[in-house]
Amino acid sequence: MKKPSDNTAPGRSGWAERHYLALFLAPSLILLLAFAGYITISLIYLSLCSWNVSSPAPVFTGMGNYVSIVRDMSFWKSLGRTCIYLIATVTGEVVTGFITAWLFNRKLRGIRILRTLILIPMAITPVVAGMFWKVMYNTSYGPINYFLSLAGIKGPAWIASGRTAFLSVLVVNIWQWMPFSFLTITAGLASLPTDVYEAARIDGASSMQILFRVTIPMLKQVLLTLVLLRSIEALKAYDLVYIMTSGGPGEATQLLPFYIYTKGFTWFDFGAAAAMSLILLVIANNLFKLFINKTGVKVFYE
Amino acid sequence: MNKKRWKGKALVFLLMAAVLALTLFPVWWIVNISLKTADQALTMPPKLIFRPTLENYKEVLFGAAQNASGRWVPTTKGFLKQAGNSICICLTATGIALAAGVPAAYALSKFSFKRKQDISFFILSTRFMPPIVVVIPLFLLYRQLGLMDTKVGMIILYTFISLSLVIWMMKGFFDEIPQELTESARVDGCTQLGALFKVAIPITKQGISATAILTLIGIWNEFLFAVIFTSKNAKTVTLSVMGYVTIREVAWANMAAAGILITIPVLFFTILTQKHLVQGLTAGAVKG
């Protein structure tokens, strides 16, 4: 199998062999530590600086940015909106993904093609998906309101109305990422042992009982991992808001990442944007740490 | 009893059809628009039967200098250039992230060492970081270093944000290789490096390609950094859909064509690797 020269292993006592762990880990760790370190330190520094239109270079001012953020209702509202968005989109994605996986988890001719078709939305570039749905939602040439009008219903303005915009963006995100949940849960279902089902059925369990007492408990780890992965992404939400609504109308779809962007690159208040970035970073870190510790999800590290 | 079962089955099929319709309708609609002429594209009621034209795609790919019908056409000739930028940035960043990340994932999977938990959590935590958080510090740095709107700048950026994904996925794939396999290679006289390159990597080839593809897709689709850090020279392909929105009009038919062109490679790779895409990420959760 191996060349004889390998058996003599000339490098066994070499530097690389003695320090193999350092050799394997160092490149990644050095890169990531440098990156995360720079980001964190400069966020802390910049958040304590005034750096905006009136002071074009960062000037140390202390807690000023934080004081104004605490008083800024737009900040609290976008933070609240981000929480609602996270909970709603993750729930929506996982529930619809689960139902779809359950529906398509049967032996049929051509089922593999159907399963592949469902993955299509996930493969669309998020910005492009946002653009597509802008057409869908359009009030004068969008198909949704056209079909509603055929049924005699006057559709709402969707992304152009403060009452429906948030929900409309949410629907697009769920539409796009339901396939990911579907794919993950389908893989999970396939890995379950079949004898448990047979035993449950022999014991006379109904299909609902099997679903809630057998399938879901056995998929617990898969579902928790899925919730974690999708929550991480939900907290990053930016593309759809940017392309579909620019946070509007008013502030109806302004999620925290987009608000930070606006603060920095529309109002050029980099100090405040840095302070809000740091707050978001701390929230993200602690939220997911808490989730991992509380749920015991077996993710990444044993 | 039999009738009830039949009814249940009909309901399931109905629901399956509904899910497929809801999933695919927007895609079908946009494909239609992209194949219509600009005048037909948005007329209501929609023309369901029409002669498909590839004119929109041609205009996207090669610019639209010809203004035959007197129609104003946005001339974003940059699509091919932007696609080239994206390919270059994607491949380089993915290559670097794999080169650095695969050995690290292997170490985390196969060895125990001091502070392993802390190191693992640190790597994982860089994945939690919402991209917007890094934008302002990097904006400052890139402006000073002259990295704004350069491919090198984008490659560095994307390498950093891909690294945690690579390590996370690859660790999942390495975990599935039995410990005995790499250990027996060591007994046979393999060096640690040899065990990685001659045993572990060849075994998990599919895992590596799935990881590479997911990383490539992530970078190809990335939007926030592209908006902020590129303006002209290093513009990536995702930005091109915005080129069809101008003050005068939105060229929806061109935009649809551009969107579809951007999506086709991603779709191809997603379908190609669908089995392995979630496997690495959920390795701890899905066994078998």
pLDDT of residue B20: 94
Nearest to B154 by CA among B66, B76, B92, B83: B92
User: Nearest CA of chain A to the CA of B67: how many Å?
Assistant: 24
For residue A103, give the nearest of B16, B190, B270 by CB distance.
B16
Q: How far is B233 from chain A (nearest CA, A)?
A: 20
B73 belongs to a structural domain: no
Contact B122 A126 (CB under 8 A): no
Q: Say whether both B113 and B243 belong to one domain.
A: yes
pLDDT for B64 equals 61
Q: What Rg do the C-alpha atoms of chain B give, in angstroms?
A: 24
**pLDDT (average), residues B196-209:** 86
Output the pLDDT for position B1. 52
Same domain, B157 and B185: yes
Half-sphere exposure at residue A283, Cβ-oriented, CA atoms within 13 angstroms:
19
Domain identity same for B6 and B104: no
A127 contacts B20? CB cut-off 8 A: no
Q: What is the ipTM of this complex?
A: 0.87
**B125 within domain boundaries:** yes
B115, B257: one domain: yes
Same domain membership, residue B126 and residue B30:
no
* Distance (Å) from the alpha carbon of A167 to chain B's nearest alpha carbon: 16
How many A-B residue pairs are in contact by the CB < 8 A criterion?
Answer: 302
Contacts of A139 (CB under 8 A, 6+ apart): A145, A155, A157, A158, A160
pLDDT at position B66 is 47
What confidence score (pLDDT) does residue B172 get?
86
A284 contacts B129? CB cut-off 8 A: yes
Please check whether residues B158 and B100 belong to one and the same domain.
yes
| Residues of chain A contacting residue B29, judged by C-beta atoms under 8 Å apart | 132, 135-136, 143
Residue B282 lies in a domain: no
In angstroms, what separates the C-alpha of B3 from chain A's closest C-alpha? 17
Are residue B171 and residue B243 in the same domain, yes or no?
Answer: yes
- Domain spanning A48-295, CATH class: mainly alpha
Per residue in B66-116, pLDDT (tens digit) is: 455 545 555 556 788 888 999 999 999 999 999 999 999 999 988 888 888
Q: Could you give the C-alpha distances from B47 to A217, B32, B124, B127, B260, in angstroms and in order?
A: 49, 9, 50, 46, 20
- Residue B17 lies in domain: 2-61
Is residue B288 included in any domain, yes or no?
Answer: no
- Convert B254-275 to b/e letters by CB count within 10 Å (16 or more is b): bbbbbbbbbbebbbebbeebbe
CB contact under 8 A, A301 and B116: yes
Question: A27 to chain B: which residues are within 8 Å by CB?
Answer: 99-100, 103-104
- Residue-level pLDDT at A3: 41
Q: Tell me the angle at which helices B252-277 and B205-221 cross, rounded to the nearest 10 degrees.
A: 160
Q: How confident is the model at residue B248 (pLDDT cuts 50, 70, 90)?
A: low
Residue A59: predicted pLDDT: 80
Which chain B residues contact residue A279 at CB under 8 A?
none
**pLDDT tens digits for range B42-51:** 777 777 777 7
B155 contacts in A (CB within 8 Å)? Answer: none
Asked if residue B127 belongs to a domain, the reply is yes
Chain B: give the shortest CA distance to residue A276, in Å.
8
pLDDT at B77: 62
The confidence score (pLDDT) of residue A11 equals 47
- Tell me the chain A residues in contact with residue B264 when contact means C-beta distances shorter than 8 Å: none
- Residues of chain A short of pLDDT 50, as ranges, are 1-11, 302
Does residue B127 share a domain with residue B90? yes
CATH code (residue B148): 1.10.3720.10
Q: Which residues of B touch A99 (CB under 8 A)?
A: 15, 19
Which residue in A has a C-alpha nearest to residue B196's C-alpha? A24
Return the pLDDT at A34.
93
| Domain-located, residue B71 | no
Distance from CA of A163 to the nearest CA of B (A): 23
pLDDT of residue A27: 92
What are the distances in angstroms from CA B186 to CA A8, A24, B54, B107, B176?
A: 11, 16, 58, 15, 18
Please report the pLDDT score of residue A207 as a whole number. 80
Q: pLDDT for B175-199, tens place per residue?
A: 888 888 878 887 777 888 888 888 8
Q: Do B107 and A21 lie within an 8 Å CB cutoff?
A: yes
pLDDT of residue A9: 46
Categorize the per-residue pLDDT at B260 as very low, low, confident or very high, splitting at 50, 70 and 90.
very high
Total of domains in chain B: 2
List, for residues B127-160, the tens digit of each pLDDT value: 889 999 999 999 989 988 999 999 999 999 999 9
Give CA–CA dist A77/B111, Å, rounded: 46
Q: Are residues B47 and B153 in the same domain?
A: no
Percent of chain B with pLDDT over 90: 34
Best mutation target among B278, B281, B287 (most A Cβ atoms within 10 Å) is B278
